[in-house]
Amino acid sequence: MANTNITRRALLRAFAATTVVAAPVMANATGFLRGAGDIRRIRMYNGRAGESIDMIYWVEGEYIAPALEEINYFFRDWRDNTVHRIDARTVDILTASHRLMETDEPYTLLSGYRSPSSNALLRSRSSGVARNSLHMQGEAADVQLQSRSVGQMYQAARACNAGGVGRYSRSNFVHMDCGPVRTWGG
């Protein structure tokens, strides 16, 4: 009889291999993270909530569930405190872009998760807000850095070739998401 015991680590490796095959563009973002000593760290400040986060969320090939839960809370919709699962691929893109810019300054998070009602409110005020925004899926973030220009942030995110990158020069922020690879903005 064959041994049917599968370890958690073997299962995670198999899943990781199929994820890279299913989404090859994410390999570019995670490739920038490989030199991180098998550790991924996110540093952000949320001015709306007055909170900071500086944590390791991935070690030796595995996401740390309690860290991801804390990231979910940190990215919550500040208008109504709605918490939603944030796609770890978005956090990876943010982390890879941050690493490319070689700065210790934390991102300022302007918008993470948006509830449908918050998205509708913003949409009523601006034509630049998508009806089916990836913010409502927990797959996008709008960020800024004081030490880097919007152009530098945009180029770093584009270099990851792992999702959508929007440049909002007038508003001084960059949108990053884990959706299809595309760019926009001026």
Q: pLDDT tens-digit profile of 8-21?
A: 444 344 434 333 33
pLDDT in the model for residue 130: 83
pLDDT tens figures, 65-105: 999 999 999 999 999 999 999 999 999 999 999 999 999 99
Position 5 in a domain: no
Pinpoint the alpha helices (H) of 23-106. 26-33, 65-74, 88-100
Q: State phi, psi for 14 to the nearest 5 degrees.
A: -65, -45
Range of the domain at 116: 24-185
pLDDT bracket for residue 175 (50, 70, 90): very high
Position 33 in a domain: yes
CATH of the domain at 40: 3.30.1380.10
Position 8 in a domain: no
Q: How many domains does the chain have?
A: 1
Q: Whole-angstrom Cα distance, residue 43 to residue 29?
A: 17
